[in-house]
Amino acid sequence: MPEVSTEYKNLMGKTLVALLSGPDQEGIVARVAGWIYEHGGNIIHADQHWDQEAGVFFQRIEWSVRSDTWADEAAFADHARSLGMTVRVEEMSTRSRVAVMVSKFDHCFHDLALRSKAGEFPAEFVAIVSNHPDLQKAAEGYGLPYHLVPALKGKKAEAEQQQLDLYRSLKVDLVVLARYMQVLSEDFLDRIGCPVINIHHSFLPAFAGGRPYHQAYDRGVKLIGATAHYATPVLDDGPIIVQDVARVTHRHNVNDLIRKGRDLEKTVLAQAVRFHLEHRILVYNNKTVVFD
Amino acid sequence: MPEVSTEYKNLMGKTLVALLSGPDQEGIVARVAGWIYEHGGNIIHADQHWDQEAGVFFQRIEWSVRSDTWADEAAFADHARSLGMTVRVEEMSTRSRVAVMVSKFDHCFHDLALRSKAGEFPAEFVAIVSNHPDLQKAAEGYGLPYHLVPALKGKKAEAEQQQLDLYRSLKVDLVVLARYMQVLSEDFLDRIGCPVINIHHSFLPAFAGGRPYHQAYDRGVKLIGATAHYATPVLDDGPIIVQDVARVTHRHNVNDLIRKGRDLEKTVLAQAVRFHLEHRILVYNNKTVVFD
Amino acid sequence: MPEVSTEYKNLMGKTLVALLSGPDQEGIVARVAGWIYEHGGNIIHADQHWDQEAGVFFQRIEWSVRSDTWADEAAFADHARSLGMTVRVEEMSTRSRVAVMVSKFDHCFHDLALRSKAGEFPAEFVAIVSNHPDLQKAAEGYGLPYHLVPALKGKKAEAEQQQLDLYRSLKVDLVVLARYMQVLSEDFLDRIGCPVINIHHSFLPAFAGGRPYHQAYDRGVKLIGATAHYATPVLDDGPIIVQDVARVTHRHNVNDLIRKGRDLEKTVLAQAVRFHLEHRILVYNNKTVVFD
Amino acid sequence: MPEVSTEYKNLMGKTLVALLSGPDQEGIVARVAGWIYEHGGNIIHADQHWDQEAGVFFQRIEWSVRSDTWADEAAFADHARSLGMTVRVEEMSTRSRVAVMVSKFDHCFHDLALRSKAGEFPAEFVAIVSNHPDLQKAAEGYGLPYHLVPALKGKKAEAEQQQLDLYRSLKVDLVVLARYMQVLSEDFLDRIGCPVINIHHSFLPAFAGGRPYHQAYDRGVKLIGATAHYATPVLDDGPIIVQDVARVTHRHNVNDLIRKGRDLEKTVLAQAVRFHLEHRILVYNNKTVVFD
């Protein structure tokens, strides 16, 4: 991502990013770029994708605007819609509000928290939600508000409602499942109103479901994997964002796979979260276009 | 693999390699190494593996022998068996006899043939068998005997019998399926009497069966893979020898996956064949121990 | 790369690709896309890069044109130049004319020849040039014209002149050094008038110069590499196009590194050649922008 | 590494590991394994390496002993020495004492601290030493003793003496330079009396010295790397333990390289530290044998 100096930013007013998709048509690139140019915007990054098979056009476009000549984001969105596009416009300096859900495995939680502190994400972590009290102190050490929502037998609906209320009150833009070990109900996912990113500890679609490292060990694979994807009602079946693998041999037992896998899970989840927060991802046909 | 100078080899008589496996027991390493030492053998490579969970011991051991003091391979094998081991002993200078089965996709065939010419395999390619005439000229260009065995509807049993007869008459030690597009029957695999290595163009167990690149494209994975495995009656389910992956993005269509996959298939299959021919692989529980 | 059906191509007349670079300026994307759109072109792929530090804009843009409304390539180039851009326009269906130079190591030669036969390159291999007779028969087997230009002591200038004359008479667009073991003179590179791609068998800038695998072995590195780059008068110092690495351990001796390295060299060189032939590479500041 | 249950450990008394190296000789494997067997030891892991060129034998051997029959470690070491070997014997349950030196970049520090808490290292972190106060609070949050030793101009000798005194008083077995930004003097390295592992943020030998990401950016490489090595008086020239790389493109500026590099540095350093602490590394000829 091109870095823009603060001075330049101030001069320019602000930087916007739009994600567009819609039926391919002649002149679409020119008509989007032309409108921005005519309204005093200066494009600083643009990436397109044409899915020839599906006949769909995708674009991520980033531009700076001078406060004196720029109309507004709504006007741009209207223009894009008049071209038949679905569109989302964001201001780059707006920091998303993120909730992280975690159970007892804490490696992804620590990794995300440290990256957040290091400034890797344009986001605020506004809530850590867990069904266990174990990470409360660690969360507070990072200055992150911690919410215990126990997963009691027969009380799933109440717990999910409590979570939904929390996310709504905190105006959460993204929920990250950082090895959260409870299955979220279809109802929860329907009602949450923001994307949910999950990390699954296998190379999907291999070894969906529980205990994937055990499954991988039993099958005798020579590579283990991790997959970050958007959560959908079908378990481990949502649009894949990032995947990576690590080499294993007959010498690695299940505990070794778990240990090696932790490193994969951390980097894969962090990269997916960063791509999402930088507005680089479009979803269609249960797949992702990732403009990296 | 340690290289031994020709001069040294002559002095020593010959170099042997043994693959052992059996129930773990105290002193097994000492009792194997001790026997070799007492009989004038000099170990030049040894690798062991203990599967703690299964309680099984595996060893690959390579040693040179002086012709004057060495008993014989049979005596060593008897000793290993007296320790409860399953054992196979090979002379390193013996070149295995390999048959390659191929259909129309020719990249793995060319790759194996060129590597064979370059001396990468301690083996003779004694037969190229195909259900199509397309590669006859290319095979002959490499100096490799080509056998056309058409896959005629309703004549599968006859074709397989013809292949079995050929392999028996040629004393074939290994059959390599280099993108051979016919499913081999359980009966064929039962009767062939030598290992069969297949290359599957996916990261197994994901996308077993037909058209794996299309399956991968439809699922929207971010990595494609290839898997070399020993063929068993259950399709794409045999012990995995080598796997590798390559990164893909939304920009790659199915043809791109196929093109990128060819490179994976070539290197994965070649590596598996080399490991096998160098007597580096032990199979158990539908998995492999690969002493690389 | 989006695939366009033959039918569609005929309807459209032809597909063009342009590589532009020049000082960054407001509205550059809109002004390029707008011109194409106004002249009846339909953009089917576009990729841009802004080097913020150097203040330079780079673009690769691919578009189809209807024969009835399209001006011509020269008119587009004039427009681009009027915007201060350096520009090159190519018709996608034009096949480049490639000469491959090779000595005795033949793995890259075979790899390129087989990929060419498989249709991986939009190019004709119009000459195989070697300082050794060894590969004459193989070249002819592929149907490729072979030219022996011996590297005689004290006759380097004459040999290079002979090569230059050949390339000029064949209208060669690209020379590929496929493990060609002679150093080309600065004079040769000045006069050749087309790009030269070399494969160096190390991860440059580590181990430039001779015997890089021996250098790597002596240093005890844990990864070996290969680098495809444009040849410049400074040995192994030109703009890097593609690099890749493979893992090695203390068990690998120099011969193992050489063997493993061959696979790296093949894929790295082939990928660089393909990127070049698909007009995906811009060079500046001794670096490359590769629009893949 | 094979896991041994606590119960089994108690029965067996203890588990030992030895690292041997010396001139290759006939029967060395048998004579080492035989001695252990005769003295009631049960080998649970053994790995050997013969450097044919140098004529040197290397071995890592791990065995459990029954307290009633086992002589002692010293007797084994004597036996190994009588065979001409250099030998080191360790008890597996002994936890090494590690000091971590860090400056302001904190990613490796946090990574090591969290892995230590997660039980990935058989070691105690007995001191965090820094020339800056920035990480004091974080260290204390992990329960790790923090020592500020400022790097004052003209006071390097005093600071190094203070560090040496500290390490001696704490009986430190290993010093880890986790992005410690001061060059250690030859005198310090001569006197420290324990190994020092450093992480260098490039693929050595490329880009030794300062600002390697800037060097890599300027050269236009397509992969960046990280190297963990034992520190020697020659800067960035010691025996390499682990290396890894990540892919970069023209789109990545120096800040992106730094960000991507952090992940490499963390995993490469952690793996090297773990290999060292598990007694898997032998050094010779400025190279390492890593029995992984």
pLDDT in tens, D216-232: 999 999 999 999 999 99
Strands C86-91 and C14-23: antiparallel
pLDDT at B7 over 50: no
Considering only CA atoms, give the Rg of chain C. 21
pLDDT confidence of residue A52: 85
Greater model confidence, B30 or D71: B30
pLDDT confidence of residue A68: 65
Helix extents (H) in chain C: 6-12, 28-38, 73-82, 107-117, 136-141, 156-169, 186-191, 212-219, 254-277
pLDDT at A152 over 90: yes
Q: How far is CA B42 from the centre of its chain?
A: 27
Q: Is the dihedral of CA D173, D177, D178, D180 positive or negative?
A: positive
Instruction: Report the 10 Å Cβ neighbour count for D210.
Output: 11
Are B118 and C141 a contacting pair at CB < 8 A? Answer: no
pLDDT in tens, C4-63: 444 444 444 789 999 999 998 888 999 999 999 999 898 989 999 999 888 999 999 999
Q: Which residues of chain B make contact with D45, given a CB cutoff of 8 A?
A: 48, 50
Are D50 and B27 a contacting pair at CB < 8 A? Answer: no
Q: Is the dihedral of CA D63, D64, D66, D72 positive or negative?
A: positive
Residue A7: pLDDT band (50, 70, 90) is very low
- D161 Cβ under 8 Å from any chain C Cβ: no
One-letter identity of residue B263: D
pLDDT confidence of residue D69: 64
Contact B226, B199 (CB under 8 A): yes
pLDDT in tens, B147-158: 999 999 999 999
- D249 Cβ under 8 Å from any chain C Cβ: yes
Name the token pair of C27: 């509205």
Name the token pair of D188: 């310090």
pLDDT confidence of residue A10: 45
Over chain C, what is the mean pLDDT?
93
In chain C, which among 207-236 make CB contacts under 8 A with chain D? 207, 219-223, 225
Residue C171: pLDDT band (50, 70, 90) is very high
**Which class for C97: exposed (0-12), middle (13-18), buried (19 or more C-beta within 10 A)?**
middle
For residue D35, the distance in angstroms to the closest alpha carbon of chain A comes to 26
Instruction: Report the 10 Å Cβ neighbour count for C57.
Output: 22
Are A47 and C52 a contacting pair at CB < 8 A? Answer: no
pLDDT at A125 over 50: yes
Q: Which residue has the tokens 């030794």?
A: D208
Rounded-to-5 percentages of helix, strand, coil across chain B: 35, 30, 35
pLDDT in tens, D169-209: 999 999 999 999 999 999 999 999 999 999 999 999 999 99
Please identify which of the residues D106, D111, D173, D236 carries the catalytic annotation: D236
A65-79, B202-216, D172-186, D187-201, range with the lowest pLDDT:
A65-79
- B249 Cβ under 8 Å from any chain C Cβ: no
**Cβ neighbours of residue C234 under 8 Å, at least 6 residues apart?**
none
- C255 Cβ under 8 Å from any chain B Cβ: yes
Is the peptide bond preceding residue A205 cis, with omega within 30 degrees of 0? yes
| Total length of chain B | 292
Q: For testing the chain C interface, which of D204, D250, D251 should be mutated: the one with the most C CBs within 10 Å?
A: D250
Q: Which residues of chain C make contact with D242, given a CB cutoff of 8 A?
A: 222
pLDDT confidence of residue D71: 66
Cα separation, D236 vs D212, in Å, equals 11
Residue of C nearest to D238 (CA): C219
Cα separation, D28 vs D18, in Å, equals 14
User: What mean pLDDT comes out for the span D67-95?
Assistant: 89
Are A289 and B240 a contacting pair at CB < 8 A? Answer: no
Q: Which residues of chain C make contact with D230, given a CB cutoff of 8 A?
A: none
Greater model confidence, B226 or B54: B226
C109-123, D9-23, D238-252, range with the lowest pLDDT:
D9-23
Q: Which residues of chain A make contact with C46, given a CB cutoff of 8 A?
A: 29, 46, 48
Strands B96-102 and B174-177: parallel
Q: Which helix (H) or strand (E) holds D21?
A: strand D14-23
pLDDT at A95 over 70: yes
User: What mean pLDDT comes out for the span D51-71?
Assistant: 85
Report the residue from C3, C110, C256 with minimal CB separation from B114. C110
Phi-psi region of B283 (alpha: psi -120 to 50; beta: other; left: phi over 0): beta
* pLDDT > 90 fraction of chain B, expressed in percent and rounded: 86
SS3 A233: coil
**Closest to B73 in 3D by CA, of B84, B61, B58:** B61
SS3 B176: strand
Cα separation, B162 vs D7, in Å, equals 58
pLDDT confidence of residue D13: 75
- B114 Cβ under 8 Å from any chain C Cβ: yes
Cα separation, D82 vs D77, in Å, equals 9
For residue D176, the distance in angstroms to the closest alpha carbon of chain C comes to 20
Report the residue from A2, A31, A33 with minimal CB separation from C29. A33
pLDDT at A40 over 90: no
Are C205 and D221 a contacting pair at CB < 8 A? Answer: yes
pLDDT confidence of residue C8: 44
**Which class for C283: exposed (0-12), middle (13-18), buried (19 or more C-beta within 10 A)?**
middle
Q: Which residues of chain A make contact with D107, given a CB cutoff of 8 A?
A: 114, 118
- Secondary structure letter of residue B213 according to DSSP: H
pLDDT confidence of residue B257: 97
Residue D68: pLDDT band (50, 70, 90) is low
pLDDT confidence of residue C71: 66
User: What mean pLDDT comes out for the span A119-129?
Assistant: 97
Report the residue from D4, D30, D47 with minimal CB separation from B34. D30
Give the Å distances, CA to CA, from C42 to A28, C95, C282, D85.
9, 22, 23, 74
Contact D32, D108 (CB under 8 A): no
Over chain B, what is the mean pLDDT?
93
User: What mean pLDDT comes out for the span B109-126?
Assistant: 97
What angle in degrees, to the nearest 10, is found between the helix axes of B73-82 and B28-38?
Answer: 160
Report the residue from B33, B47, B52 with minimal CB separation from D33. B33
For residue B269, the distance in angstroms to the closest alpha carbon of chain D comes to 25
Q: Which helix (H) or strand (E) holds C146?
A: strand C146-148
pLDDT at A97 over 60: yes
User: What mean pLDDT comes out for the span A8-19?
Assistant: 73
User: What mean pLDDT comes out for the span B16-28?
Assistant: 93
Q: How far apart are the first and last CA of chain A?
A: 8
pLDDT in tens, A135-150: 999 999 999 999 999 9
Contact C11, C38 (CB under 8 A): no
**Cβ neighbours of residue D244 under 8 Å, at least 6 residues apart?**
C223, D225, D226, D264, D267, D268
Q: Which residues of chain D make contact with B33, given a CB cutoff of 8 A?
A: 29-30, 33-34
Q: For testing the chain B interface, which of D5, D25, D29, D59 should be mutated: the one with the most B CBs within 10 Å?
A: D29
Cα separation, B116 vs B143, in Å, equals 11
Cα separation, D271 vs D200, in Å, equals 14
pLDDT at D149 over 60: yes
Size of interface C-D (CB pairs under 8 A): 83
User: What mean pLDDT comes out for the span A45-71?
Assistant: 87
Contact A18, A87 (CB under 8 A): yes
Kindly report the backbone phi and psi dihedral angles of residue C213, in degrees, each rounded to the nearest multiple of 5, phi listed first: -70, -35
User: What mean pLDDT comes out for the span C105-129?
Assistant: 97
Q: Which residues of chain D make contact with C204, given a CB cutoff of 8 A?
A: 206, 219, 221
ipTM for the whole complex: 0.92
For residue A259, the distance in angstroms to the closest alpha carbon of chain B comes to 18
Q: Which residues of chain A make contact with C50, given a CB cutoff of 8 A?
A: 2, 44-45
- B18 Cβ under 8 Å from any chain D Cβ: no
- D107 Cβ under 8 Å from any chain A Cβ: yes
**Cβ neighbours of residue C155 under 8 Å, at least 6 residues apart?**
none
Which chains does A contact via 3+ CB–CB distances below 8 A?
A: B, C, D
User: What mean pLDDT comes out for the span D23-32?
Assistant: 90
pLDDT confidence of residue D250: 95
Return the exposure string of A64-86: e unless at least 16 CB atoms fall within 10 Å of the residue's CB, then b.
Answer: bbeeeebeebeebbebbeebebe
Are D220 and C289 a contacting pair at CB < 8 A? Answer: no
Name the token pair of A45: 């990054």
Over chain D, what is the mean pLDDT?
93
User: What mean pLDDT comes out for the span B40-53?
Assistant: 89
SS3 B280: coil
pLDDT in tens, C71-104: 688 999 999 999 999 999 999 999 999 999 999 9
- C259 Cβ under 8 Å from any chain D Cβ: no
pLDDT confidence of residue D42: 87
Q: For testing the chain A interface, which of B221, B236, B285 should be mutated: the one with the most A CBs within 10 Å?
A: B221
Report the residue from A49, A51, A223 with minimal CB separation from B243. A223
**Cβ neighbours of residue C263 under 8 Å, at least 6 residues apart?**
B267, C246
Which residues of A form the catalytic set? 236
- C114 Cβ under 8 Å from any chain B Cβ: yes
Q: Which residues of chain C make contact with B255, given a CB cutoff of 8 A?
A: 3
A61-75, B212-226, C262-276, range with the lowest pLDDT:
A61-75
SS3 C38: helix
pLDDT confidence of residue D52: 85
Which chains does B contact via 3+ CB–CB distances below 8 A?
A: A, C, D
- D26 Cβ under 8 Å from any chain B Cβ: yes
